[in-house]
Amino acid sequence: MLQVSDQEIDNRLREENPWWVAGAGIDRDYAEFPRRAYLPPFARLARQGAPQRAVLLLGPRRVGKTIMVFHAIDALLREGVPGRDILYVSLETPTYFGQGLDSLVRRFQRTFERPSAGPLYVFFDEIQYLKGWEVHLKSLVDTQRNCRFVATGSAAAALKHKSAESGAGRFTEFVLPPLTFFEYLRFTGAEDDLVGADGDRDDAARFKALDIAGLNEAFITYLNFGGYPEAVFSEAVRRNPRRYIKNDIIDKVLLRDLPSLYGIADVQELNSLFNTVAYNSAEEISLEGLAQSSGVSKPTLVKYLDYLEAAFLIKRIHRVDENAARFRKAMTFKVYLTNPTMRAALFAPLTADHPAIAHLVETAVFSQWLHNDAYIESLHYARWKKGEVDLVSLDARQKPRFAVEVKWTDRPWDDPREVKGLVEFARLHKLGRMPLVTTRTAKGVRTVDGVEVEFAPTSLHSYTVGRNTLERSR
């Protein structure tokens, strides 16, 4: 059996690390690609993270993890870090098969006499391709105290599982979700023409739509195609999202990542469940109903839902009543896709007036909060005998902070009876913010049965949540 020679390994390393040559930087295509809004905090963590801790960059497939690594490397170079102090290794490259992480780091250290006394920066891309990666990385963190380690991987569920299992106290997780609507507008260059500043309130920046028709048109495109950076810039992807998103993202997770990690024998059963919850994203569902429709037992369904959530494909939220009290034995819950674009890939893109667009719109609104660690785990929905509210945030004392009813119509502005549940909920609780109804185009404040209610276009609200969340993280 032929083995890869040392010379071949060295040549590959030099090819992947062009900045080892004085004056060179990252590949031009990567350099010209727009920066994710997450880059500043990630680059700061890679540069100044806690000693003896590796950074794990987690997230769904195709959200731009590799590109953000190269942008972080570019930031290091611009800050004056010598190129020969930076190592990048793509572990999906066959050249490195059979090579341990420690051997690659030692090879890197032997290649150059240290040009500076500063730390070495080591980036392992697609680390899940190395069996037992978590043990090897933990060992490196413990022994190579002058190195800063960053690892990424597409099999996010596997990374997260192994990180929790073996890397306690040694790994810092950084989650990179799909694009927010704010990032999408900035990527496409449409932001300045569609949105403008509108002052500050409640410690958050406020914005106004400069062209609500144009903003809504961009929002519908975002719902169908805009969750993934590559889809934004590729006409070929937009023409055939099913081939790109379903085959390259969803199927690899459902048919490969999760079965290999959790030993799932019936992959079609898992796939069928995901299709069901994806089609019904933003709707209340029950384990009983899922079991009856799928023929899968409730315990198995609970495990599958846990796996799908670990893979960043879905997010569940739980029900409260009008008093904001959680149910001890909740058998119903809402499931949201973490990215509305997945529904379009699985079934078909939706127009602005499609009967199912309301659920996709609510999915998009919810997905903007995925970028806010302080709030995402606080989100619930409220339902009781006489009313319901789409999204309710509870504080640490289980008291409501804000409540949102998501609509894709202006009817509630003209007939507030459509949001009587929200009004009743707001009357029962002292909310930290004015209750909000999202609309298609209507904007303003109205008093409904003695309660002040804010109305704002759904597209504008999604932009606002995404932008304020991301700018606070910088």
Question: CB within 8 A of 37, min separation 6: which ones?
Answer: 180, 182, 183, 186, 470, 471, 474
Q: Looking at the predicted structure, is the pLDDT value of residue 133 above 90?
A: no
Query: Would you say 413 and 428 are in contact if contact means Cβ atoms under 8 Å apart?
Result: no
Question: Residue 182: pLDDT band by 50, 70, 90 thresholds?
Answer: very high
The tokens of 280 are what? 């019904």
Q: Which letter does DSSP use for residue 17 in this model?
A: -
Q: Please provide the average confidence, as pLDDT, over all residues in the chain.
A: 89
Query: Would you say 316 and 335 are in contact if contact means Cβ atoms under 8 Å apart?
Result: yes
What are the residue ranges of CATH 3.40.50.300 in the chain? 6-175
Summarised one tens digit per residue, pLDDT across range 333-355 is 999 999 999 998 899 899 999 99
Q: How confident is the model at residue 126, as a pLDDT?
A: 87
Question: CB within 8 A of 182, min separation 6: which ones?
Answer: 37, 191, 462, 463, 466, 467, 470
Question: Residue 331: pLDDT band by 50, 70, 90 thresholds?
Answer: confident
Q: State the Cα–Cα distance between residues 211 and 213, nearest whole angstrom.
A: 6
Q: How confident is the model at residue 159, as a pLDDT?
A: 55
The tokens of 331 are what? 């058998």
Q: How confident is the model at residue 285, as a pLDDT?
A: 93
User: Which has more pLDDT, 89 or 205?
Assistant: 89
The tokens of 237 are what? 């992807």
The tokens of 459 are what? 């597209």
Q: How confident is the model at residue 163, as a pLDDT?
A: 54
Q: How confident is the model at residue 410, as a pLDDT?
A: 97
Of 216, 296, 306, whose CA–CA distance to 262 is shortest?
A: 306
Of 281, 176, 278, whose CA–CA distance to 229 is shortest?
A: 176
Question: Residue 245: pLDDT band by 50, 70, 90 thresholds?
Answer: confident
User: Which has more pLDDT, 234 or 37?
Assistant: 37
Highest averaged pLDDT of the listed ranges 83-92, 111-120, 247-256: 83-92
User: Which has more pLDDT, 408 or 203?
Assistant: 408
Q: How confident is the model at residue 168, as a pLDDT?
A: 54
Query: Would you say 37 and 465 are in contact if contact means Cβ atoms under 8 Å apart?
Result: no
Q: State the Cα–Cα distance between residues 343 and 433, nearest whole angstrom.
A: 32
Summarised one tens digit per residue, pLDDT across range 371-414 is 787 788 999 999 999 999 999 999 999 999 999 999 999 999 99
Query: Would you say 180 and 99 are in contact if contact means Cβ atoms under 8 Å apart?
Result: no
Query: Would you say 311 and 266 are in contact if contact means Cβ atoms under 8 Å apart?
Result: no
Q: Looking at the predicted structure, is the pLDDT value of residue 102 above 60?
A: yes
Q: CB 399: neighbour CB atoms within 10 A?
A: 13
Question: Residue 117: pLDDT band by 50, 70, 90 thresholds?
Answer: low
Question: Residue 137: pLDDT band by 50, 70, 90 thresholds?
Answer: very high
Q: Looking at the predicted structure, is the pLDDT value of residue 20 above 80?
A: yes
3-state secondary structure of 80: coil
Q: Looking at the predicted structure, is the pLDDT value of residue 473 above 80?
A: no
Tokens 């930087």 belong to residue: 25
Distance of CA 193 to the CA centre of its chain: 26
Q: State the Cα–Cα distance between residues 402 and 65, nearest whole angstrom.
A: 32
3-state secondary structure of 260: helix
Q: How confident is the model at residue 134, as a pLDDT?
A: 86
Mean of pLDDT values over 106-118: 76
Query: Would you say 37 and 44 are in contact if contact means Cβ atoms under 8 Å apart?
Result: no
Question: Residue 3: pLDDT band by 50, 70, 90 thresholds?
Answer: confident
The string of DSSP letters for 43-60 reads HHHHHHPPTT-EEEEE--
Question: Residue 470: pLDDT band by 50, 70, 90 thresholds?
Answer: confident
Domain made up of 6-175: CATH architecture: 3-Layer(aba) Sandwich (3.40)
Question: CB within 8 A of 251, min separation 6: which ones?
Answer: none
Q: Looking at the predicted structure, is the pLDDT value of residue 199 above 80?
A: no
Distances 457 to 257, 351, 388, 416, 445 between C-alpha atoms, Å:
38, 17, 20, 16, 12
Question: Residue 437: pLDDT band by 50, 70, 90 thresholds?
Answer: very high
Mean of pLDDT values over 435-455: 96
Q: How confident is the model at residue 12, as a pLDDT?
A: 94
Query: Would you say 25 and 217 are in contact if contact means Cβ atoms under 8 Å apart?
Result: no
User: Which has more pLDDT, 71 or 396?
Assistant: 71
User: Which has more pLDDT, 94 or 219?
Assistant: 219
Strands 147-152 and 54-58: parallel
Q: How confident is the model at residue 328, as a pLDDT?
A: 74
Question: Residue 330: pLDDT band by 50, 70, 90 thresholds?
Answer: confident
Question: Residue 246: pLDDT band by 50, 70, 90 thresholds?
Answer: confident
Q: Looking at the predicted structure, is the pLDDT value of residue 50 above 90?
A: no
Question: Residue 251: pLDDT band by 50, 70, 90 thresholds?
Answer: confident
Element (H, E) at 102: helix 101-111
The tokens of 156 are what? 């996010």
